[in-house]
Amino acid sequence: RRARRRGCTAGGTAGDTAGVGGLVASGIFVPARGEATTRDLVHACELVQEMRHARPPPCRAYYKIEEAFARSGVRVRKDWKCVDVGASPGGWTSYLSARLSGDGPSGGGERGRVWSVDPAALSGLDPIPDNVTHLKMKAEECEGPLLADAFDRGLLGDDATVSPSRVGVGIVDLVVCDANAAPMKVAEMLSAMSRLMKPGGWLVTTFKNFCRGAAEWEREVVAGAAALARAGFERPRVYHLFSNCPQEKTLVARYVGAREE
């Protein structure tokens, strides 16, 4: 009883609930820190299972990004400009799209958008939401087309121009990646996105294990995080989420600007 009195439900707040905001927003009771019982945990898990069966996502990867934001406390704002690298089949794009505003009337208010970057189809999204642009190409090729699309939609500002050599256009608030690639390859793809990032923007990515042993895997995770830090994504937090496979870890970091060599 004491836990329930001091806890938090939809519409309420508690001082330390930032990391479970997704559960609170869904109406699931969250006890205050240090007050949870085993019964509370079981009850919350049962409610989450019921929610997932009632509203199945495009793919199970959806649960990873949902949990990553709940664990990290990062809140997606409706006006954010987001890039989903390796987006197919569309689970992470679906999550982001649902949390952003649409295009709306021309010139009316700020608009959120997701650029989904993947040569493969977004088979989990039918139809593709209005606030999603599918760039059917590799991450290393997407900067120019992404800027052109943003310019056409009036998202770069009235005085912006676009050219093949344009760099350092800070328009992206969030870049995410759940690509099926080794950590260093993922770091390489996401480092290319740094030229589009706003200072203070966020990165969420999965590091997957393509190594033969645990020690090599740990070295790959450290090396991938270091490569991202050199590109400006610092203060990383690495999680092994409940939604991760046994051979996956999720990294959340903030863009502070590229280091000077």
Give the model confidence (pLDDT) of 188-201 as tens digits: 999 999 989 999 99
Q: What is the tally of helices (H) and strands (E) in the chain?
A: 8, 7
pLDDT for the residue numbered 157: 63
pLDDT for the residue numbered 110: 59
* C-alpha span between 235 and 216 (Å, rounded): 22
* Identity of residue 5: R
Judged on CB neighbours under 10 Å (0-12, 13-18, 19+), 238 is: middle
* C-alpha span between 52 and 81 (Å, rounded): 27
Judged on CB neighbours under 10 Å (0-12, 13-18, 19+), 90 is: buried
For 53, residues 6+ apart whose C-beta sits below 8 A from its C-beta are: none
Cα-Cα-Cα-Cα torsion 131, 135, 138, 142, nearest 10 degrees, comes to -80
* C-alpha span between 244 and 233 (Å, rounded): 22
* C-alpha span between 237 and 225 (Å, rounded): 9
CB atoms within 10 A of CB 211: 16
pLDDT for the residue numbered 2: 39
Cβ atoms 92, 62 nearer than 8 A: yes
pLDDT for the residue numbered 214: 84
pLDDT for the residue numbered 116: 98
Q: Phi/psi of residue 177, each to 5°?
A: -155, 130
* C-alpha span between 152 and 161 (Å, rounded): 10
* C-alpha span between 258 and 115 (Å, rounded): 22
> Which residues of the chain register pLDDT less than 70?
1-30, 33, 48-49, 51-58, 102-110, 157-169, 258-261
